[in-house]
Copies of this chain bind each other. A is one copy, B any other.
């Protein structure tokens, strides 16, 4: 298997881009990634577009053709990859395989979601398509409703205080405040989280990722080619990729407080990277809700069940802590443009490994991981990236 490297990344600020189209978002992010890599667009010979709900929001499928055209890459093979909120994580995996197989040389993995075509209640209808329509959504449960069941059970099983879970949002906002592409780049107080309205008991508004638009691009090529194209100290190697599924229905999971797919995907990623968890210097986890970020850290194996919320409160997830977590601000503060999120995470890890993450730079970061969840744990990818020099 050919080794694969990331040679350029680019994105747009997550936000409500009412006046821009899905094409515009892709174009801006792609241009930024090209500039970052220092290559010409005509060198790209494969495109992967991660997206969940363009059929719903834009009444547009067939994004492969649409996006290739919008980027001036008519002719280049391009296809849409959908895996709910983990669409972009799986998109990156497909792009890695495209290069590793030898079928493609330089590939752009794009994640895009343009949610501000509709009002929030309608976005809720799009999001719940990540859950089981026939056995969950049809009966009226929302996506945050399913996650509320998880938080309730977690508090009960591990006797964890509501405030300690809510603190994860405070942690994320502290770092998101310094992220130029964050949707909500400001710190928040625990009191603010606790006093925010209940969306689905016991989840409060400020424990939820918001609704926003975004596009993020990573450019990949064989490691050997990367050495020809860019400075070696800017090369980030794809060390390992792991993916897994679980039942789409939450009620059928083995546990409400642990996502089996994260456990499996992490094992696969760590094993293919030939490292141990202790080698990981920083992590981006999928905190669609504060409880989701906490459970993710436990499922990945960094903390025992019931321990991660406390770790956040005690400062272990800080920049100079034991495991710097969500230095981007996470889904809560950077934002969660659904089908783009996984590539945002990868960009943030790449920038950390290149030492370009500004105020939130983790000192001497060598290896970083990004975990991206689809649905309530129905699909998960874990990507491990390593600094080449």
Are B61 and A52 in contact (CB-based, < 8 A)? Answer: yes
Are B65 and A375 in contact (CB-based, < 8 A)? Answer: yes
Q: Look across to chain B and name the residue whose beta carbon is closest to the beta carbon of A381.
A: B77
Asked if A80 is at the interface (CB within 8 A of a chain B CB), the reply is: yes
In this complex, which of A2, A66, A81 has the most chain B Cβ atoms within 10 angstroms of its Cβ? A66
Decide: A83 near B62, CB < 8 A? Known: A21-B134, A129-B55, A245-B75.
yes
A-B contact list, 10 entries, CB within 8 Å: A2-B101, A53-B55, A53-B61, A59-B125, A60-B134, A64-B374, A65-B246, A65-B378, A79-B82, A79-B83
In this complex, which of A73, A125, A375 has the most chain B Cβ atoms within 10 angstroms of its Cβ? A375
Asked if A370 is at the interface (CB within 8 A of a chain B CB), the reply is: no
Asked if A170 is at the interface (CB within 8 A of a chain B CB), the reply is: no
Residues in chain B near residue A94, CB distance under 8 A:
79, 94, 97
Q: A39-64: which residues lie under 8 A (CB-CB) from chain B?
A: 52-53, 55-56, 58-64
Residues in chain B near residue A98, CB distance under 8 A:
97, 101
In this complex, which of A2, A62, A252 has the most chain B Cβ atoms within 10 angstroms of its Cβ? A62
**CB-based closest 10 A-B pairs:** A65-B378, A77-B243, A1-B102, A100-B101, A101-B101, A62-B84, A61-B129, A65-B248, A68-B245, A97-B101
Residues in chain B near residue A80, CB distance under 8 A:
81-83
Nearest-neighbour CB distance to chain B for A122, whole angstroms, equals 13
Asked if A359 is at the interface (CB within 8 A of a chain B CB), the reply is: no
- Please report the C-alpha to C-alpha distance between residue A260 and residue B101 in the assembled complex, in whole angstroms: 26
Residues in chain B near residue A66, CB distance under 8 A:
132, 248, 378
Q: A147-187: which residues lie under 8 A (CB-CB) from chain B?
A: none
Residues in chain B near residue A248, CB distance under 8 A:
62, 65-66, 69
In this complex, which of A56, A83, A375 has the most chain B Cβ atoms within 10 angstroms of its Cβ? A83
Asked if A215 is at the interface (CB within 8 A of a chain B CB), the reply is: no
- Please report the C-alpha to C-alpha distance between residue A64 and residue B244 in the assembled complex, in whole angstroms: 10
Asked if A90 is at the interface (CB within 8 A of a chain B CB), the reply is: yes
Asked if A130 is at the interface (CB within 8 A of a chain B CB), the reply is: yes
Q: A86-143: which residues lie under 8 A (CB-CB) from chain B?
A: 90, 93-94, 96-98, 100-103, 125, 129-134, 137
Residues in chain B near residue A97, CB distance under 8 A:
94, 97-98, 101, 103
Out of B100, B103, B241, B374, name the residue touching A241 (CB < 8 Å): B103
- Please report the C-alpha to C-alpha distance between residue A43 and residue B56 in the assembled complex, in whole angstroms: 36
Asked if A9 is at the interface (CB within 8 A of a chain B CB), the reply is: no
Are B79 and A64 in contact (CB-based, < 8 A)? Answer: no
Asked if A74 is at the interface (CB within 8 A of a chain B CB), the reply is: yes
- Interface residue tally for chain A (C-beta within 8 Å): 65
Out of B56, B76, B102, B134, name the residue touching A245 (CB < 8 Å): B76
Decide: A59 near B102, CB < 8 A? Known: A76-B245, A78-B379.
no
Are A130 and B61 in contact (CB-based, < 8 A)? Answer: yes
Are A74 and B246 in contact (CB-based, < 8 A)? Answer: yes
Asked if A351 is at the interface (CB within 8 A of a chain B CB), the reply is: no
Q: Look across to chain B and name the residue whose beta carbon is closest to the beta carbon of A134.
A: B21
Are A245 and B59 in contact (CB-based, < 8 A)? Answer: no
Out of B75, B76, B245, name the residue touching A64 (CB < 8 Å): B245
Q: A229-280: which residues lie under 8 A (CB-CB) from chain B?
A: 241, 243-249, 252, 260-261, 264-265
Residues in chain B near residue A76, CB distance under 8 A:
244-245
Q: Look across to chain B and name the residue whose beta carbon is closest to the beta carbon of A50.
A: B79
Q: Look across to chain B and name the residue whose beta carbon is closest to the beta carbon of A82.
A: B80
Are B84 and A61 in contact (CB-based, < 8 A)? Answer: yes
Decide: A62 near B244, CB < 8 A? Known: A80-B83, A102-B100.
no
- Please report the C-alpha to C-alpha distance between residue A148 and residue B63 in the assembled complex, in whole angstroms: 23
